[in-house]
Chains A and B, each alone.
Chain A
Amino acid sequence: MGTLFEDLGAQFQQSFIEADRWQRYLDGIKISFLVTLGALCIGIILGILVAVIRTLHDQQKGSDRNILLRLLNSICQIYTTVIRGTPMMVQLLIMGFVIFKTSRNLVGVAILSLGINSGAYTAEIIRSGIMSIDPGQMEAGRSLGMDYITVMKDIIIPQAIKNILPALGNELITLFKDTSLVTVIGLTDLTKAAQQIQAKTYQAFMPYIGIAIMYLVVVMILTKLLGILEKRMRQSDRR
């Protein structure tokens, strides 16, 4: 029994302390955060864009749809179909080794890949949020002489976001965990850091259990923060 603990202690020493290896986890998790944040921004912007185009298209009756709107709607549909129909890792491999094969900016490639992926899912979440808002809100806004975009931006989207916050939070958490896939294009995120340390020390237990705990703790903190945000956004319902 004693030897087991001594053994674990030694492994811990090797995996985290020796040669300042903790620094590598820290650098890795910074990259993971950076990719999450960047991808989140791209995902939300793409998501809102696609959701608004598809809603606008669906709300208009057959004869009023103009060519441009139909074209945009088709592009959006192809986008969601392709992105949701192929594995994230395959998308990363294609982005890293086919489309941007000469790029040195791995962080940029990772952010773009995950952002484009996240956008397809976020779009569907936001679309469901927009559809959950009473059509009377749009009618009231338009009857006051405001244009479609203004009503969307000031009235519909803010209410929709509030309704879909739990689903968006889920998407954020998925996104954060999916950053571990960027190892396949050679970016040194948290997972890659653990792999590199395992290669040095020939020990798998401590690095991998270690990063699993780190991912878990971050997700738990994110969940807590989202809960607080949700509560604050609900305040206007009660006052």
Chain B
Amino acid sequence: MSTNTANPSTDEVLIRVENLRKSFGDNHVLNGISQDIHRGEKVVIIGPSGSGKSTFLRCLNLLEEPTEGHIFFEGTDITAKGTDINAIRRKMGMVFQHFNLFPNMTVRRNITLAPVRTGFMKQEEADKRADELLARVGLSDKAEAYPASLSGGQKQRIAIVRALAMNPDVLLFDEPTSALDPEMVGEVLEVMKELAEDGMTMAVVTHEMGFAREVGTRVLFIDEGIVKEENEPGEFFANPQNPRLQDFLSKVL
């Protein structure tokens, strides 16, 4: 049973992935993945390292260009030639394992740069939005600080705020807690949980099984470049069918 009933996913397909394949030279990383992500869903993607789960996520906003297959976002084929990928990315936020904050600017500027530069907001609006979002993650006092002075957990919360500033329709998380010291994982997961409760559509690559179980509406197990098993979290963890998944879960749980 899914524990998340506050914001059930809708029938509207936000991201449609059709037969996605990706190779780096002779290295076939993704071998045909087809998936629909509905608005409001929180899809958690797990799998062994090197399985292609990060590559899958990075294909969704074309940080990696698919070798084959199609990706539709809100009905637009983003893999088609001539699609304005910058416009698409403004609706798809991404949070990285290593935060990737811009070290040469203050936290405030980190957050407001994209909304202002893309013409989405004026500087004053963006500043106001930054203040609101910073208050939400409890970092109002860090607006004028530089990233180098922040802890890992603070950096990742700022990175989430930076993605949220563009008002995205979906947030992609690429192992958001993997680079954090253990005592800082909680504060980041807490922010992600709150986002989930607010109804944000999320795709999360993670090793946090507790998070997958608690927040996910659907869990995907990617191995050898394909989705080997998917299910709602209760059944997924209680009754894994695929032997590879059983093996994987026995190691991580």
Q: Contact residues of A with B, CB < 8 Å?
A: 64, 134, 136-137, 139-147, 150, 154-155, 158-159, 162, 236-239
- Contact of B149 with A by CB under 8 A: yes
- Contacts A144-B90, A158-B104 given; does A239 touch B148 at CB 8 Å: yes
- Contacts A150-B117, A155-B102, A155-B104 given; does A145 touch B166 at CB 8 Å: yes
Report yes or no: A136 in contact with B100, Cβ–Cβ below 8 A.
yes
From A143, A147, A237, contact of B103 by CB (8 A): A237
- Contacts A145-B118, A154-B117, A236-B146 given; does A134 touch B100 at CB 8 Å: yes
- Contact of B61 with A by CB under 8 A: yes
Number of interface residues, chain B, beta carbon within 8 A:
31
- Chain B nearest CB from A155 CB (Å) reads 5
Alpha-carbon separation in the docked complex, A150 to B89 (Å): 15
Alpha-carbon separation in the docked complex, A156 to B39 (Å): 34
Residues in B with CB closer than 8 Å to A154 are 113, 117
Q: List 17 A-B contacts (CB under 8 A).
A: A134-B100, A136-B100, A140-B94, A141-B102, A142-B86, A143-B63, A145-B118, A146-B117, A150-B117, A154-B113, A158-B104, A159-B103, A159-B104, A236-B146, A237-B146, A238-B148, A238-B149
Q: Mark B94-130, 1 if CB is under 8 A from A, else 0.
A: 1010101111110000000110011000000000000
Residues in A with CB closer than 8 Å to B159 are 140
- Chain B nearest CB from A194 CB (Å) reads 44
Alpha-carbon separation in the docked complex, A80 to B154 (Å): 44
Please indicate which of the listed interface residues A137, A142, A143 has the most CB atoms of chain B within 10 Å of its own CB.
A143
- Chain A nearest CB from B219 CB (Å) reads 24
From A137, A143, A162, A238, contact of B102 by CB (8 A): A137
- Contacts A237-B148, A239-B146 given; does A142 touch B100 at CB 8 Å: no
Q: Mark B150-163, 1 if CB is under 8 A from A, else 0.
A: 00000000010011
Report yes or no: A147 in contact with B86, Cβ–Cβ below 8 A.
yes
- Chain A nearest CB from B21 CB (Å) reads 16
- Nearest-CB residue, chain A, relative to B113: A154
- Nearest-CB residue, chain A, relative to B159: A140
Alpha-carbon separation in the docked complex, A158 to B102 (Å): 10
Report yes or no: A145 in contact with B113, Cβ–Cβ below 8 A.
no
- Nearest-CB residue, chain B, relative to A235: B146
- Contacts A142-B89, A144-B89 given; does A162 touch B61 at CB 8 Å: no
From B92, B102, B105, contact of A140 by CB (8 A): B102
- Contact of B87 with A by CB under 8 A: yes
Report yes or no: A143 in contact with B117, Cβ–Cβ below 8 A.
no
- Chain A nearest CB from B67 CB (Å) reads 11
- Chain A nearest CB from B242 CB (Å) reads 32
- Contact of B145 with A by CB under 8 A: yes
- Chain B nearest CB from A235 CB (Å) reads 9
- Contact of B47 with A by CB under 8 A: no
- Chain A nearest CB from B88 CB (Å) reads 8
Residues in A with CB closer than 8 Å to B90 are 144-145
Alpha-carbon separation in the docked complex, A134 to B101 (Å): 11
Residues in A with CB closer than 8 Å to B96 are 136, 139-140
Alpha-carbon separation in the docked complex, A143 to B174 (Å): 12
Alpha-carbon separation in the docked complex, A147 to B88 (Å): 12
Alpha-carbon separation in the docked complex, A137 to B102 (Å): 7
Q: Mark B135-154, 1 if CB is under 8 A from A, else 0.
A: 00000000001101100000
- Contacts A136-B96, A139-B96, A237-B148 given; does A145 touch B89 at CB 8 Å: yes
Report yes or no: B100 in contact with A137, Cβ–Cβ below 8 A.
yes
- Chain B nearest CB from A23 CB (Å) reads 45
Residues in A with CB closer than 8 Å to B94 are 140, 143
- Contact of B66 with A by CB under 8 A: no
Alpha-carbon separation in the docked complex, A155 to B114 (Å): 11
Residues in A with CB closer than 8 Å to B87 are 145
Q: Mark B214-242, 1 if CB is under 8 A from A, else 0.
A: 00000000000000000000000000000
